[in-house]
Amino acid sequence: MRKTIAIVFAVLVLLPVVVAAVTVTTPQGAQEVFARGDLLDALAVLRLAGVDVQFAAAAGSYNASAGEHQVQFTPGGSLAVVDGRLTRLPGPLRQLEGHIVCAPATAAVLLAPFGWTLNGSGASLELAHASAGEQIEVSVVRAPTGTTVVVRGTKQRPQVVATRGVVALQFVTPVTLAKPVVPEAELLGGDLRGTTLTLRLAPGAEVANTYPLDDPPRFVVRLGTAAPAAALAAPRAGPLVVLDPGHGGGDQGAKGPGSELEKDITLAVARATAAQLQAAGVNARLTRDGDDTVSLTDRTALANRMQATVFVSIHANASLARGAHGAETYYMSADASDAQAAQSAARENASASPDTVQLILWDLAHVANLNNSARVARSIQERLNALQGIKDRGIRQAPFVVLTGATMPAALVEVGFLSNANEAARLALPDTQQQIAAALAAAIVDYLHEPTPTPTTPAGTPTP
């Protein structure tokens, strides 16, 4: 009896010390991989899958690549960049006895972009080619508050690209449709091409918001109804200016030392500017005409739907440089990333199979809009410089969210600094607001009347 107890004791004590590897079954056969407890050698598993893994000393991170796919991760971290997108890993990667180790679940996430799965547990794991990917199912839930499209069967959070009538969900890893998308309510149908699920929406339907849910994992696309385009873009005589009073509702924006609120000042200036424009015979509309919360994208979307001639977003500034003062006017920056975004938007806008000529025409329209945005911005800044006695302040470019989706010349004006006590007190005065409004209205009228060789977008070509 004592002998049996002693043998069992020896086996139980020595086994965890001796077992330092896990068997990974691959299509080529079984392979031993370094392991400690629940952790296994991540680099070895990636290499078993034919993934090239290099340590980039300059970047301090590992670079795993195969074909078009690339994953970067850092020992000690729980984040990875998977094909250019930030991904949170299920657990951290650690350095242990000269190996980079992680839990199998983390290794599975690293392997997924390369088309591999890692299943099993304990001392035996199976590395296999991913089948066609996760099986997803699309269904529609109708409620009095609106229609919701639910994509079940995936934990992925796809990138959402919504354009008029179409919403594209771009998944990171392959997915398959368990069954065809059945048209219902505002969902007219859907197709899966590669890792992109394209959903077609009924006229007037648009994406209100999207979010993932757990238990069971699913991705939700909530639809809203756009205001009828015909009503918004009713035939009108002359140009339409959409003025956007910055912030509003729960978002008060910047706050001055005397409790002056940006959202109040921008609304007052926008209302006064609209009145001045109307008096000058120019149609003007506001993105909000009260203390309302309006998202940045909805502001631009409204101007787009109304087919506005010009879009001007009005703000009041703040800076930790307490001496900062005066107005500043910005328009959209046109750096490489914006050009890429523009091209990508063009592809989405164009059709499922982008046409080169259409893309070139779209690009021309984009450049024309950018040039005209600069003209609007310059016109505004010159008028405000004259009003405020500033001689040397020019216009600037920056990637403002509220200007990103505008399909017409657009600018963002900061009428002054609320962080500057003197300027904040002046900006809160109705007289100052009227003066600024007069300058803005005059600048917009200048722009509208200034003759320019504006290239027009050919019929059938999406505007940027």
Partner 1 sequence: MKALRPIAATLVVLGILAAVVVLSRHHRASAPAPAPEGATPAPTPVPASLVLFFPGDDTMLHREMREVPELPAGTPARIKLVVEELVAGSRRGFAPALPWPATVQTVFLDREGDAWVDLSPPPAGAVSGTGGELALAYATVNSVVANCPAVRRVQLLFGGQQVATLGHIDLSRPLAPNPELVAP
Of 79-87, 132-140, 275-283, 445-453: span binding partner 1 (CB under 8 A):
79-87
Number of residues that bind partner 1 (CB under 8 A): 67
Is residue 197 within 8 A of residue 190, CB to CB? The reply is yes
Among 371, 304, 298, smallest CA distance to 334 is for: 371
72 binds partner 1 (CB under 8 A): yes
Min separation Cβ 166 and partner 1, Å: 21
262 binds partner 1 (CB under 8 A): yes
Q: Which is nearer to partner 1, 131 or 344 (CB)?
A: 344
| Whole-number Å distance between alpha carbons of 251 and 263 | 8
Of 31-39, 166-174, 199-207, 398-406: span binding partner 1 (CB under 8 A):
398-406
| Torsion sign, CA atoms 266, 270, 276, 282 | positive
Min separation Cβ 119 and partner 1, Å: 28
**Residue 135: CB partners within 8 Å, gap ≥ 6?**
153, 175, 176, 177, 178
Q: Which of 28, 29, 68, 86 binds partner 1 (CB under 8 A)?
A: 86
How are strands ordered across the β-sheet holding 79-82? 52-56, 61-66, 69-73, 79-82, 85-88
Min separation Cβ 360 and partner 1, Å: 23
Q: Which is nearer to partner 1, 310 or 332 (CB)?
A: 332
Is residue 147 within 8 A of residue 141, CB to CB? The reply is yes
Site for partner 1 in 26-65 (CB under 8 A): 54-61, 63
Min separation Cβ 321 and partner 1, Å: 4
148 binds partner 1 (CB under 8 A): no
CA geometry: angle 194, 197, 199, nearest 5 deg: 150
Q: Give the C-alpha distances (Å, rounded to integers) separating 356 from 47, 196, 344, 346, 459.
A: 40, 21, 13, 10, 16
Name residue, tokens 């060789």: 453
15 binds partner 1 (CB under 8 A): no
SS3 7: helix
Q: Which is nearer to partner 1, 309 or 388 (CB)?
A: 388
222 binds partner 1 (CB under 8 A): no
Q: What token pair was written down for 15?
A: 């086994």
463 binds partner 1 (CB under 8 A): no
Site for partner 1 in 274-303 (CB under 8 A): 296
9 binds partner 1 (CB under 8 A): yes
**Beta bridge partner(s), residue 143:** 146
459 binds partner 1 (CB under 8 A): no
Q: What token pair was written down for 404?
A: 């990103």
Q: Which of 20, 213, 386, 398 binds partner 1 (CB under 8 A)?
A: 398
251 binds partner 1 (CB under 8 A): yes
455 binds partner 1 (CB under 8 A): no
**Residue 338: CB partners within 8 Å, gap ≥ 6?**
332, 399
Binding marks (x or -) toward partner 1, 223..242, rule CB under 8 A? --------------------
Of 122-130, 266-274, 363-371, 410-418: span binding partner 1 (CB under 8 A):
410-418
| Whole-number Å distance between alpha carbons of 109 and 116 | 9
CA end-to-end distance (rounded Å), the chain: 84
* Chain residues in the site for partner 1 (CB under 8 A): 2-3, 6-7, 9-10, 13-14, 17, 54-61, 63, 70, 72, 74, 77-79, 81, 84, 86, 88, 98, 251, 253-255, 262, 296, 315-326, 328, 330, 333, 335-337, 341, 396-402, 404, 412, 414, 417-419
